[in-house]
């Protein structure tokens, strides 16, 4: 049912089988409605479609115009692609008459084609324009942001989003350099950071944390994740499953906390005369925490930092009507 386009830059989907297996698409669930919040190059979406029944539906999201172009080659009436962030999930589903879904998959971070294409500006390994936007059709590029932001905000972003202990020195160096010349390429920025970072982590380029921080900020990744988790949860049917794959500690902590708040429900004082049936009940059940196998990491080193957390909706007071 699908046509597979070969992208200019190859992408290996992390935890491909494990993530799709986690959504338990079988039996009556095969004709359910599912969301792939990050289409990328379609690895998860294509496998999801192969598991769906004839009446199943898959709604996928992506910011990247190149990902959208790839998605549009999938000729399957059960598939819909939305050119936007998964943070717009609730509105996009409502526009299509969908109030509940049976499963949501979020594969966070950036894809190999984005990293490997020097023109996108995500990587310091090859020189290219300092863009870093996932959606190149809107928003401010990394170069534009670095040219205008205050030193204090630069430091805050690099420290908080990159967990970089030399954030003060890096921000100061960026401001000093931009007073002399525009910082417009990845190699320029990497050189500035290398000069400011005095102690290097073994096996890691000194620019790694700063590039991560700027990318996360420019693309509003953590804001989108916060909104996307809530909207996924709100639209999940009873028994529905959420699977979230994260690639760095900031994301994983947010996912872990979001799940924990709905699993560990505060209980009232045991001395109060409250019937068991009236006690607060957990809204989610944790199903799994998983990392890539050694074999997957050997085949795809970029998978080494991935963590997948899976949870199932339990609450019986779920708002919303039938599909």
Beta partners for residue 33, in sequence order: 57
* Biggest distance spanned by C-alpha atoms of the chain: 72
Distant-in-sequence, close-in-space partners of 276: CB < 8 Å, separation ≥ 6: none
Q: Which candidate, 65, 61, 66, 30, places its Cα nearest to that of 45?
A: 61
Q: Give the span between the Cα atoms of 227 and 281, in whole angstroms.
A: 23
Q: What is the dihedral sign for C-alpha 60, 61, 67, 69? A: positive
Q: According to the annotation, is 62 in a ligand binding site? A: yes
- 83 known ligand binder: no
First CA to last CA distance, the chain: 24
Within 10 Å of residue 321's Cβ, how many Cβ atoms?
6
Check the annotation: does 66 bind a ligand.
no
Question: Can you say how many angstroms the Cα of residue 321 is from the centroid of all Cα atoms in its chain?
Answer: 28
> In this structure, how many other beta carbons lie within 10 angstroms of the beta carbon of residue 199?
7
Q: Does residue 43 have a known ligand-binding role?
A: yes
- The number of residues making up the chain comes to 323
d(C-alpha 49, C-alpha 298), whole Å: 28
CA angle, 254 as apex, 156 and 237 as ends, to 5°? 145
Task: Give the pair of three-digit tokens for residue 18.
Answer: 């494990």
Kindly list the strands in the beta sheet with 236-246, ordered across the sheet, starting from the edge strand earlier in the chain: 79-83, 57-62, 33-36, 101-107, 236-246, 307-313, 284-290
Residues annotated within a binding site for S-adenosyl-L-methionine: 42-44, 62, 86, 107, 114
Residues annotated within a binding site: 42-44, 62, 86, 107, 114
């Amino acid at each position: 049912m699908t046509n597979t386009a070969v992208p200019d830059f190859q992408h290996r989907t992390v935890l491909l089988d494990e993530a799709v297996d986690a959504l338990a698409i079988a039996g009556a669930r095969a004709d359910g409605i599912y969301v792939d919040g990050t289409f990328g190059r379609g690895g998860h979406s294509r496998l999801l479609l192969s598991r769906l029944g004839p009446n199943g539906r898959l709604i996928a999201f992506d910011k990247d115009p190149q990902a959208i172009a790839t998605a549009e080659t999938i000729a399957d009436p059960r598939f819909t692609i939305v050119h936007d962030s998964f943070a717009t999930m609730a509105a996009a589903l409502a526009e299509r008459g969908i109030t509940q879904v049976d499963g949501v998959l979020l594969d966070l971070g950036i894809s190999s084609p984005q990293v490997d294409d020097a023109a996108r500006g995500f990587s310091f390994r090859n020189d290219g324009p300092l863009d870093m936007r996932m959606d190149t059709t809107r928003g401010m590029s990394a170069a534009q942001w670095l040219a205008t932001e205050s030193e204090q905000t630069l430091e805050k972003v690099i420290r908080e989003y990159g967990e970089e202990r030399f954030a003060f020195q890096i921000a100061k160096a960026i401001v000093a350099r931009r007073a002399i010349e525009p910082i417009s390429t990845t190699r320029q920025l990497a050189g500035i950071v290398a000069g400011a970072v005095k102690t290097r982590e073994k096996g890691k380029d000194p620019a790694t944390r700063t590039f991560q921080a700027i990318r996360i900020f420019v693309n509003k990744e953590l804001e989108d994740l916060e909104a996307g988790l809530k909207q996924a949860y709100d639209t999940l049917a009873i028994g529905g499953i959420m699977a979230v794959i994260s690639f760095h500690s900031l994301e994983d902590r947010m996912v872990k906390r979001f799940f924990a708040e709905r699993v560990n429900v505060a209980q009232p004082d045991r001395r109060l005369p409250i019937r068991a049936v009236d006690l607060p009940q957990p809204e989610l059940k944790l199903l799994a925490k998983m990392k890539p196998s050694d074999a997957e990491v050997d085949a795809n080193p970029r998978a080494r930092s991935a963590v997948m957390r899976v949870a199932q909706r339990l609450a019986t007071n779920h708002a919303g009507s039938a599909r």
